[in-house]
Amino acid sequence: MAESISIESGAPKEIKYEQLLPQIFALIEGEQDEVAVLSNVAAALHQSFANLWTGFYLVRKDVLKLGPFQGPVACMTIDVGKGVCGQSWERGETIVVADVDRFPGHIACSSESRSEIVVPIKDSNGQVKAVLDIDSAHLNSFDTFDRRYLEQLCDHLANILY
């Protein structure tokens, strides 16, 4: 039976992550089904931070395919190197975008998106298997705290799934 996620609502971002990550790790412990794990992780992040869109794109052959997510409808297929997600996949690195309107080639799945962070999830060979994509309706929503904690989360996901 799933347990609810509980974090202090008015806490600073760093405290929220420090409270949330152990709860996510406990929630997904022992589960290896990709869809089940990524679905609950997307829901926990989305519920805790109230961003516009929180979800995953999965590497399927030569494209990224929409995976589990929370938020408005999204692009279903993204080519390598295209948009923030495709570039994160291609480079194998986290990309933080303060203003999506200033990011060359940004794919506007939602006109409400103003800033974005994309974190690759790599297997033990360094191959990107998926990306975590979070969009905010506000400019400059993501910073070094988000990068650090979301990279920790994605490393953990890689260890249990890939």
> pTM for this structure?
0.93
CB atoms within 10 A of CB 123: 14
Q: Is 115 helix (H, G, I), strand (E, B) or coil?
A: strand
pLDDT at position 104: 76
pLDDT at position 1: 43
Instruction: Give me the domains of the chain, ranges plus CATH numbers.
Output: 13-161 (3.30.450.40)
**Band of residue 117 on the pLDDT scale cut at 50, 70, 90:** very high
3-12, 87-96, 111-120: which has the minimum mean pLDDT? 3-12
Give the Cα separation of 52 and 87 in Å (integer). 21
Between 3 and 139, residue with greater pLDDT: 139
Give the Cα separation of 151 and 37 in Å (integer). 16
Q: CB of 36 within 8 A of CB of 56?
A: no
User: DSSP state, 30?
Assistant: T
**Band of residue 111 on the pLDDT scale cut at 50, 70, 90:** confident
pLDDT for 11 beyond 90? no
